[in-house]
């Protein structure tokens, strides 16, 4: 017979461990991404995402200069991110800055808006102000609502 309390307790422990791991990965990505964006003359990055129907994706990643003009995302052939000490050894390699930005977005959504892709989903953007070193996740959660009334006549 399955001990549901033990299963739930184990699940809660694994979820807490994952939250710590995700928070560490986010910090590592932020530290690795900022200098590369600065070197490329990028002042702002806007990463748009949209999700619904049990799927979701990063739709667009726009890099902007100080005047607000779009510029190409820098091509970095390989990027090393120091691996955290939660069960991994050695650095993690990403293929590009674009891939790192996308991974950062998915991790931020996992940490702050789990289930963003389910049912009606959510949409929004992750905005990086490179000069200020700020990362702001704006997320609009969608849902269907009903307003039921019953009136006896």
In the three-class reduction of DSSP (H, G, I as helix; E, B as strand; rest coil), residue 92 is classed as strand
Q: Has this prediction a pTM greater than 0.85?
A: no
- Stretches where the chain sits below pLDDT 50 are 83-90
pLDDT digits (tens, 9 = 90+) for 51-89: 988 889 999 999 999 999 999 998 775 555 554 444 444
Task: Give the C-alpha separation, 84 to 82, whole Å.
Answer: 6
Do residues 46 and 106 lie in contact, with contact meaning Cβ atoms separated by under 8 Å?
Answer: no
Q: Phi first, then psi: what are they for 79, rounded to 5°?
A: -135, 125
Which residue, among 37, 51, 53, 34, has the nearest Cα to 116 in the 3D structure? 51
Q: Phi first, then psi: what are they for 69, rounded to 5°?
A: -80, 140
Task: Give the C-alpha separation, 48 to 58, whole Å.
Answer: 6
Q: Phi first, then psi: what are they for 61, rounded to 5°?
A: -130, 110
């Amino acid at each position: 017979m399955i001990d549901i309390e033990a299963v739930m307790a184990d699940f809660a422990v694994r979820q807490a461990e994952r939250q710590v791991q995700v928070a560490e990965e986010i910090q590592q990505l932020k530290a690795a991404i900022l200098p590369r964006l600065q070197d490329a003359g990028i002042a702002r990055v806007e990463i748009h995402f949209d999700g619904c129907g049990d799927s979701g994706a990063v739709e667009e990643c726009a890099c902007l200069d100080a005047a607000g003009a779009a510029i190409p995302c820098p091509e970095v052939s390989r990027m090393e991110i120091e691996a955290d000490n939660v069960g991994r050894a050695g650095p993690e390699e990403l293929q590009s800055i674009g891939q790192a930005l996308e991974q950062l977005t998915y991790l931020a959504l996992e940490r702050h808006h789990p289930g963003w892709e389910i049912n009606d989903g959510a949409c929004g953007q992750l905005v990086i102000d490179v000069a200020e070193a700020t990362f702001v996740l704006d997320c609009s959660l969608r849902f269907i609502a009903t307003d039921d009334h019953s009136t006896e006549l």
